[in-house]
Amino acid sequence: MRTEKARICNILQQAPKGLYPLTEAAHLPLRKVNNLLEELSKDGIIEFVAGVYRLKEQSKDAPVSETIRQDFPKLEANAQLVENIKRRDYSRFKIGEDGPEVGKARLVLEIIKTIALERPNITLLELKELFPDKLHPKFGVVQALPEAIKKSEKHNRFFIKDPIKTGRSQIAVCREWSKDNIAPLIERAISLGIKVMPVTS
């Protein structure tokens, strides 16, 4: 465990990273990295800022590598983006410069599709670790398709007709999103390296 924690710290010493890029760099299971990050955070060694994990001593005024310096403008832009979304009710978003313009609910669907495309064998449990139910306490961000169908018996709460294949099963994405709960999810997506952009005109 100590060696694995050191590995995480060594990676973050090079540059702050989101959960998904950090998992790839550490060559460890997602659940393991999540647990290590929680322990390092409790120990006061790392912090989660502007969508990325970084060592606490990494600040703009401290002597840091050129790689980290180049990353600060991006971190500030991510922080500003999340703050803007919290203050203003954007109705349209897109992923990347060339992505289609979509509403809040469809954006969440596209985010989960992006993750599933990058990791075809990802499981529902791993998806829930990336996007925990606390991001949508009432319904959860994703559910197994049968559970989503059950929760949508009276109202269309999930994208039942647009399920996503993950590993050996199918999941459905929640479609109940508003200004109040979309910002934390977008912040999470940014931490995983997904470029979410509000459409301002």
**Which region among 16-25, 70-79, 120-129, 189-198 has the lowest average model confidence (pLDDT)?**
70-79
Regarding whether 56 and 144 lie in a shared domain, the answer is: no
pTM given for the model: 0.63
**Torsion angles phi and psi, residue 61, rounded to 5:** -90, -15
Residue labelled with tokens 């694995």 = 4
Q: Mean pLDDT, the chain, as a whole number?
A: 81
Measured at the CA of 180, the angle between CA 174 and CA 186, to 5 degrees, comes to 65
Whose CA is closest to 64, among 52, 72, 76, 53?
A: 72
Regarding whether 101 and 59 lie in a shared domain, the answer is: no
Q: What's the CATH number where 11 sits?
A: 1.10.10.10
Regarding whether 104 and 18 lie in a shared domain, the answer is: no
Q: Per residue in 153-171, is it b (16+ CB within 10 Å) or e — as a string?
A: eeeebbbeeebbebbeeeb
pLDDT of residue 80: 64
Listed residues 67, 102, 119: the one ending a domain? 67
* Cα 88 from chain centroid (whole Å): 20
Regarding whether 103 and 186 lie in a shared domain, the answer is: yes
pLDDT of residue 148: 96
Whether residue 86 is contained in a domain is answered as no
Whether residue 110 is contained in a domain is answered as yes
pLDDT digits (tens, 9 = 90+) for 174-189: 999 988 888 889 888 8
Regarding whether 191 and 100 lie in a shared domain, the answer is: yes
Regarding whether 180 and 96 lie in a shared domain, the answer is: yes
Does 59 or 177 have the greater pLDDT score? 177
Regarding whether 159 and 63 lie in a shared domain, the answer is: no
Range of the domain at 25: 2-67
Q: Is the pLDDT of residue 67 over 70?
A: no
27: region left, alpha or beta (phi > 0 left; psi from -120 to 50 alpha) = left
Averaged pLDDT for residues 158-186 = 91
Q: Is the pLDDT of residue 25 over 90?
A: no
40 secondary structure, DSSP code: H
Does 86 or 135 have the greater pLDDT score? 135
